[in-house]
Amino acid sequence: MADMDLIDRARNAVNDRAELPGMSLMQHLEELRRMLIHSVIGLVVGMGIAWGFYSRIEQIIAAPITRLGLHLTQLHPTDAVNFAVKISLYGGAIIASPYILYQVWKFISPGLYTKEKRYVIPFMLSTVGLFLTGLYIAYHFVLPAAMPVLLFQFGRNFTQMITIDDYMQFFMAVILGLGVTFELPVLVFFLAIFGIVDAGFMIRQARYAILLIFLISAVICPLPDPISMCIFASPLLILYAVSIGVAYIFNPKSRKKKTEA
């Protein structure tokens, strides 16, 4: 029933948008092509900036390990080069993310009403702000708490040899995982303005959302114990509550009721 309800909402949202000025298929493809080209250019520029600060970024990434008196191990001659390329790629993507997000907004804005297009500045600020907040929490709280437990508690009987490649994968999984999950209110914002979800729907599905949040926390949480998983899930639960408020404010039906009142 929930799936059918969601499908009906999406269908109604498409029908409600029928009054908007349309674009031909070729125009849509041209806009998509323009967005991709500009996004790639922004990414390349961001990668160039990240490459220029490679040494500093490398120190920042390795800090959770070096603070513990450990060092990363190079097993293959190309490991250091691959590390530099990954730093440039991920760092460039983060640096260029505001520009890329603006290109995405320009691509979808023709499908919005004029009054909805004014949300571009709140959209940019909230998207970048939430993502950076997720990165900050992951780097300054999650990783410093996780590394000693993983290395010195669970790994106390083993020789510590942390390779560059393995550490980079672990680091980015935690950092980007939490950064992306913090974008939940932004996703709900788009679903709400298109009328696909509303606050009532999210409240009714809260038990499933809570279960999904704990499953996601179990996957991306670096600590294996239930208490750490609950702590990791806490900000996601708060974000879900915030998302309910976002859906209430921006869903067309909710706004119509407030206008009529």
pLDDT tens, 67-118?
888 888 888 888 889 999 999 998 898 889 888 888 887 777 776 666 666 7
What is the structure's pLDDT at 37? 92
Helix (H, G, I), strand (E, B) or coil at 142: helix
1 in a domain, yes or no?
A: no
Q: How many residues does the chain have?
A: 261
| pTM (predicted TM-score) | 0.72
151 in a domain, yes or no?
A: yes
Out of 182, 217, 236, a domain closes at 182
Q: Indicate whether 171 and 151 sit together in one domain.
A: yes
Cα–Cα distances in Å, from 234 out to 29, 217, 231?
41, 9, 5
How many structural domains does the chain have? 2
Enclosing domain of residue 177: 26-182
What is the structure's pLDDT at 46? 92
Q: Indicate whether 144 and 161 sit together in one domain.
A: yes
Q: Indicate whether 188 and 88 sit together in one domain.
A: no
Question: pLDDT per residue over 49-64, tens digit each?
Answer: 999 898 899 999 999 9
What is the structure's pLDDT at 103? 85
Q: Indicate whether 42 and 137 sit together in one domain.
A: yes
What is the structure's pLDDT at 115? 67
